[in-house]
Every structure is written in structure tokens, then in C-alpha cells.
Structure 1
Amino acid sequence: MSDALSPPPPTSPAAPAGAASHSHSATGARIIAITSGKGGVGKTFVSANLAAALTRRGQRVLVLDADLGLANLDVVLNLHPKITLHDVFTGKATLEEAVIQAPGGFNVLLAGSGMVEYSRLTPEVRNQFLSVIQALTPQYDVVLLDTGAGISDVVLFSISLASEVLIVATPEPTSLTDAYAAIKVLAMQQKRQHVRMVINQAARPGDGRAITSQLQQVLDRFVTTESGRPMRLIHMGDIPADPSVRDAVMRRQLLLLQTPGCPAALAIAQLANKIETTLLTPAA
């Protein structure tokens, strides 16, 4: 598969000190961080269902729960892991033992919640995290990092390991304000030239595109990247408000498995298609 993964273009941002470079090797996975300005916008829901949709398209996918303090990927997937990232970090288990298969056919590495010692980015946590990522990327086509919300140093560090950032926001003003704050930090601190947007719980078709262009206008006025060009937002799609989502989340089921024909599931399948064609397919 190595030829299918072209390196990012030269505009790819420089890595902060101590982080892996924002790229993937010719043989490694494409690393995509899925993040949000505020919590509760459906970031983990998107990560899990997107992984299922990419797996269905024949990609080898790993979701890594990078929300080290408040992990909840296990809840969304109804998994009860005996071994988590915590056990790997403390040397109680190997990485191979900690990676498990989720419903939907993709692999997950769960963090284990309430790990207070990992809510701060110490050099030790940074190094352990890096070595886990480096060990895993050669085995997959895509690694999705389900990060925490906000702009803590742990969140920003996990985002720094990714070549692409997907920000999940809802149309609510608080979500957009926080998304803007996060984007601004990514432009300033990580020198990113672009981030990708997904608007979840969109009320009407076209809402997400309108919201993205509104945010873009604010960025154009107030945020310049290192290159002197404005930070570019790339609208990747909307996920419509859909009662099936709440039902799937309450049942701890993947939406794509429970009601694959519902509007939100179809939108996630479209998002997977767009990610595959724009990020995972070799340039002609």
C-alpha cells in the first residue's frame, strides 16, 4: 500500500519541538486528529462511525483514544477492555495486547478514563505517546486520533502528531466560538495552513458550508499563518440532526451498524468517501 500514501504537500506545517513531524512515512498510516473546541459535539461518535465507514471501504483503520484524562470511546463502542493504554504506559501489558477489534471491524486502542496523571503533558507521557504512535502507524492505512476537546497541552500535543486535523463543531454559537479559538491556536502554535471542518447536527442541508464560510471570514480578518496567508478551512461535510443518532448512542451501538440507511449514517459514509479520495488516494 506504500505507493497509495503520498507525503503531504510541502505546505504541511512544521512540528512543534519534540513532536513527530506532521507527516506519515511512505509506509505508515495517514494520521488524522479528530478534535473540537468544546466537548459534547459528537467528536467520539464521529471518530467511531467514520472508522467503521472507512473500514467498509477496505482501509485498515485504528482509532486511538487520545483523550487521556476523560476517555469515552469504550462507552460509545460498548467495549469493556481489560487492557488499556494506561497498562502499556506502565509496562503492565504490551501494545499488541492493548489493541482490540471493535464492532465495525476496525481496531481501537482505548485509554481508560479518570487517568489524572495523564491530564498533564509530562516529558514521560509525551515520549510514551510518541513511541506508541510510531509503533502502530506502519500497520494501518489510517490512524484516527480521537483527542480531548479544547486546547490543553495534551490535546495540542496529540493533534501535533497528525498530518490532518478534522474539527467537529455544531451550529451552536458556543461550539463555533470554541472551534474558532482552537483553530487560532493551531494556526499560531502549530503553524498549520489549513484544517478540515465537519458540522454535526446540521439543521438543514448547506448549513455547514455557510457556517464554515462565516468562520473563514473571521479567520481572514484576524488570523494569519506563518506564510502570511489566511488559515484555510476546508468544509468536509455535514452530519444532519437525526434522532437515530441519539438512539444508537444510548444503545452504545455504531450508527453505521444499527441504522446504516438513516441520514446521519449516509452523511458519515459520504465523509469517509471524501476522506478516502482527498487524503488516502495517491495523486495521479
Structure 2
Amino acid sequence: MVFSGLTERTGRQANTLRRIMQNDSSKLPPKVLAISSGKGGVGKTNVVANVACALSRKGKKVLIFDADMGLNNIDILLGLASPFHIGHVFSGEKKIEDVLVDGPRGIKVLPASNGWQELTLLDSEKKLLLMEELDRISGDFDYLLFDTGAGISSNVTYFCSAAHDILLVATTEPTSHTDVYALMKVLFQQHHQKRFRLIVNAVKNEREALEVYKRLSTVLDRFLGGVTLEYMGYVVHDANVSKAVRQQKPFIELYPHSKVTQCIELVTQRILKERDRFSPDSDRPFAWRSVLQI
């Protein structure tokens, strides 16, 4: 979709803000979580898929948006057929509800494109269109999960800044620690984000996870004063995870009594507790308010 200029864009922003302000204040907006990592290959998308299923098990309506928009992952991981993707929304060919795919446990998935390089760097018009479309359907969901790309690109920082909470996935690898720290540094210095949560993936036990958390916390205290990092839990290394990936199914569905499923359920319980404290009267009452400043 092509926009004619600043006047039209400003008008669209005003219309979107007006619609948000007119929303039923008695209903909480969806809790928006950005799940990111800084580094690829840490199992972030797998964490997203299984947390979404765990939330759905608790009766929550969940939408996953594959926010790595040039390279689709979540639909492949879940074995979903997706004839359309977010690129068709940007082109004006489809509305967002036409693109949504039914996932396991009743979750909905908004797929990314595959190999559309122009979507790896969203301009202001595309950001505004995406905001409007997500805002229009958001009342149908309790949780919206952004599965961001890896790294510190503008798309990654955009979706992290638009979320109510930022969940970072790390492993025991030193490169993972370095990249997670780099992402927090960029989000703090350039986007004024001060609060992060950490999930440590593929560890032997919780002691190993806590060592990662303490190491990152120490670095933050030393170099990024004012930034807080909260420990949200860990996901144990389990051969069942790889088996589930090969079958393109969530491991919590295939192996409901496994240790790795128990880990995801504990993380999900902590996410749900945060939801209980979530209020539309908070300093960030709705994720899209921050996106209006583009």
C-alpha cells in the first residue's frame, strides 16, 4: 500500500488514536509480549510456540505474530499451511484476518513472508498499517506474542519497543550472553527500555540457568545502571525437543509429562501472574500508543 504523503499519514495516525481512545475501557487490551534473543539458534521460536500453547491450555486466546518478517519460522515449526502472509496485508491484497492461520490448541498465527527482503526493514507507512490492522483485531485476544528476528535491526527494536514486556531468550553460550546484552543496550540507549525478563534455554538444570542470569545481571549493574533484568525461568535441555521439531509439533503436546514441558508451564505461570497485575491505567496502557511515535 502506497501513501500519498505526510498529511494523509498524520490523518491516519489521528484516526487510529481516536479509535483506540474509544475502545471499551472495561476490557483489558491484550498483553503484548516481545520474545527476542539477540542471537539466532537459541531456540526462541520453539519457546514462543510452546508458551503460546501453554497459555491456550489455561483458557487464554493467543495470537503469535512471526515478526521476523522476511523469513518465516513459526508456521514451519508448527507444520501449518499458510497460503498468505503479512506481505499480502502490506500490499493491500488481504486483510489481516484473511492471513491468520489456525494453530494447535486454538492459537492463531500471523505468518511472515519467506524471502521478501523489503520486509526486513519496515518504513513508517508499513508500521502504521500494521498497527492499525493489529489494533482492529486485538480485542479478540488475551495475549499477542511477537516472535522477533535475531539481532538488533530496526524491526527487532521496533517490536520490542511496542510490547508491554520484553522476554529475552539466552543459552549458556558466551555469544548468546554478548548478543542479549547488546540488544538490551540498544533498547535502553536508543529506545528508553529499562525492564527486561530472561528465559534461559537448553540448560542442564536451574542452577546453570541462574548462573547465566547472575552473570548478565552483574554486567548490567556495572555498565547499564537503571536497567533491570528479571528471571522468568529456564527450559531444560531435552532430546524430546528435537523430536518434536522434526514432527513439527509443540513438545508440550507430544510430551506433556516431560521435564521440559514442566519448565514451560512454570514460565507460563509467571507470565500469567504478570497479567494479573496488568492494568490499562499503567504508564503504557496499550502497546500501540508507543508505535504512534514513528
TM-score, with structure 1 as normaliser: 0.86
Matched with 1:215 is 216
Which structure features the higher share of helix residues?
2
Q: Deviations over 1:224-244 (max 9, x none)?
A: 3xxxxx211000000000000
- Are the counterparts in 2 of residues 104 and 254 from structure 1 also a CA contact under 8 Å? no
Give the Cα–Cα distance (whole angstroms) in 1 for the partners of residues 190 and 275 of structure 2: 23
For the 8 Å contact 1:51–1:106, the answer to whether it is kept is yes
Residues in 2 aligned to 1:56 and 1:73: alpha-carbon distance in whole angstroms: 19
Counterpart of 1:234 in structure 2: which amino acid?
E
CA–CA distance in 1 between the matches of 2:253 and 2:194?
Answer: 35
Structure whose alpha-carbon radius of gyration is higher: 2
Instruction: State whether residues 70 and 117 of structure 2, in contact with CA within 8 Å, keep that contact through their aligned partners in structure 1.
Output: yes
Unaligned segments of structure 1, at least 5 residues = 1-17, 225-229
Residues 282 and 195 of structure 1: CA distance in aligned 2, closer, same or farther (over 3 Å): closer
Corresponding position of 1:258: 254
| 1:269 match | 265
Q: Which residue of 2 aligns with 1:181?
A: 182
List structure 1 segments (4+ residues) > 6 angstroms apart after TM superposition: none
Q: Identify the residue that residue 249 of structure 1 maps to in structure 2.
A: 245
Name the aligned partner's letter for residue 149 of structure 1: A
In structure 2, the partner of 1:190 is: 191
| Deviation of the 1:139 alpha carbon | 1.6
Equivalent position amino acid for 1:239 in 2:
V
- Is the contact between residue 62 and residue 108 of structure 2 (CA under 8 Å) also seen in structure 1? yes
For residues 27-75 of structure 1, the C-alpha deviation after alignment (integer angstroms, 9 at most, x for no partner) is: 3101000001100111110111100000000111111111111221111
CA distance in 1, matches of 2:108, 2:98: 12
Cα deviation digits, residues 121-149 of structure 1 (max 9, x gap): 21222222222321232221110000101
On the 8 A contact 1:30/1:280 being kept in 2, the answer is: no
Give the alignment of 1:157-172 within 5 angstroms. 157-172=158-173
Question: Cα 1:282–1:125, aligned 2, differ >3 Å: closer, same or farther?
Answer: closer
Displacement after TM superposition at 1:282 (Å): 5.6
Map 1:1-284 onto structure 2 (within 5 A). Answer: 27-224=28-225, 230-281=226-277
The verdict on how the C-alpha distance between 1:183 and 1:100 changes in structure 2, with shifts beyond 3 A counting, is same
Q: How many residues align?
A: 258
SS in 2 for 1:149: coil
| % identity of equivalent residues | 35
Q: Which amino acid aligns with 2:250?
A: L
Structure 1 distance, partners of 2:70, 2:118, is: 8
**TM-score of the superposition, structure 2-length normalised?**
0.83
Distance 1:97 1:280, change over 3 A: farther
The one-letter amino acid paired with 2:243 is D
What is the identity, as a one-letter code, of the residue corresponding to 1:123? S
Q: Is the 8 A contact 1:66 1:146 kept in 2?
A: yes
Gaps of 5+ in 2: 1-12, 18-22, 280-294
* Partner SS, residue 97 of structure 1: helix
How many angstroms apart in 1 are the aligned matches of 2:152 and 2:79?
A: 27
